[in-house]
Amino acid sequence: MPELPEVEVTRRTFGARIRGARVAAVRVGKPLRWPLGCSAQSLVGQTVGEASRRGKYLWLPLEHGGLLLHLGMSGSLRFDAHVAPPGPHDHFDLVTDRGTLRLTDPRRFGAVVFAAAIDAEPAARLLAGLGLEPFDPAFDGAHLHAALRRRHGAIKPALLAGDIVVGAGNIYACEALFAARIDPRARASSLSRPRCAKLAAAVRETLARALAAGGSTLRDFRDAHGMAGAFQHEARVYGRAGQPCVVCATPIRRIVQGQRATYFCPRCQRR
């Protein structure tokens, strides 16, 4: 579920509030993607720092080490002064003197992993292969063009892979390609430098607009205050198979690439 905008919206709605809180207890529910990697007791008494984000990961620093969090496909975090007893999908509670940070994740593809530092294992390994942040000034047409030159496959899976630029998942990759008028099946290495510049700008602008809208809530995404996002109403191709393109009225097509659905306008988007 959560792509960069959703993760960043989550961070913004709890990151500063949890800073300075002291861990009072830790509750672990059903197994997530990876084990926590430390004893729950070892976290108790530590003061929490301000949450930061790298790609779709969040890093929550503690006095000694920190927690790397990922929301997977269906995860969301809430930070509340008072929480209900854990439900069947509440798999991690960080109870502090200011409130409880709770991970709810029905599919359990998410993760909460302890690391001694953000550049220590296992955090270092998980973050090692990540590409540029989309809002990093270094992510521009020249960078994208150079990175895509080696890619023989289609552009859409290359965007999703996250080793060139992070943050665009299935929704925003489709939306950015539509904005840049590029066919998702186009061979990545075939894109001209100007089209790469257009695509880099489209990725940035799509993510920025989603961020401003509070992310997308297709089913279950909520920010740390429990608020839904609104960007799903602004999607121009994602989930709109068969509906008319907002630009040319041609029916939006749905295809499958790398076992993921891709939505695009066969007329507006060119190879």
Partner DNA sequence: AAGTGGACCTGCTAGC
Partner DNA sequence: TGCTAGCAGGTCCACT
Question: What is the helix (H) or strand (E) element at residue 76, kind and residue range?
Answer: strand 76-80
d(CA 174, CA 170): 6
Residue type, 75: G
User: What is the nearest approach in angstroms of DNA to the Cβ of residue 23?
Assistant: 26
User: What is the nearest approach in angstroms of DNA to the Cβ of residue 241?
Assistant: 9
Known catalytic membership, residue 98: no
Which three-class secondary structure state does DSSP give residue 67? Answer: strand
Residues in the site for DNA, rule: CB under 7 A? 1-3, 6, 30-31, 33, 55-57, 70, 72-74, 88-89, 106-109, 125-126, 129, 150-154, 157-158, 160-162, 169-171, 188, 215-221, 229, 258-261
Question: What is the helix (H) or strand (E) element at residue 70, kind and residue range?
Answer: strand 66-70
Known catalytic membership, residue 3: yes
User: What is the nearest approach in angstroms of DNA to the Cβ of residue 145?
Assistant: 14
User: What is the nearest approach in angstroms of DNA to the Cβ of residue 195?
Assistant: 17
Residue closer to DNA (CB basis): 40 or 255: 255
Known catalytic membership, residue 102: no
Known catalytic membership, residue 2: yes
Contact 123, 68 (CB under 8 A): yes
User: What is the nearest approach in angstroms of DNA to the Cβ of residue 138?
Assistant: 18
Residue closer to DNA (CB basis): 21 or 115: 115
What is the DSSP track for 112-162? Answer: EEEESSTTSTTHHHHHHT--B-TTSTT-SHHHHHHHHTT--SBHHHHHHHS
Contact 66, 27 (CB under 8 A): no
Which listed residue (11, 53, 56, 236) is catalytic?
56
d(CA 85, CA 98): 17
Torsion of CA 75, 79, 85, 91, to 10 degrees: 30
Which listed residue (86, 260, 266, 267) is catalytic?
260
Interacting residues of 140 by C-beta distance below 8 A, sequence separation 6+ = 197, 200
Residue closer to DNA (CB basis): 41 or 259: 259
Q: Any idea which residues carry the catalytic annotation?
A: 2-3, 56, 260
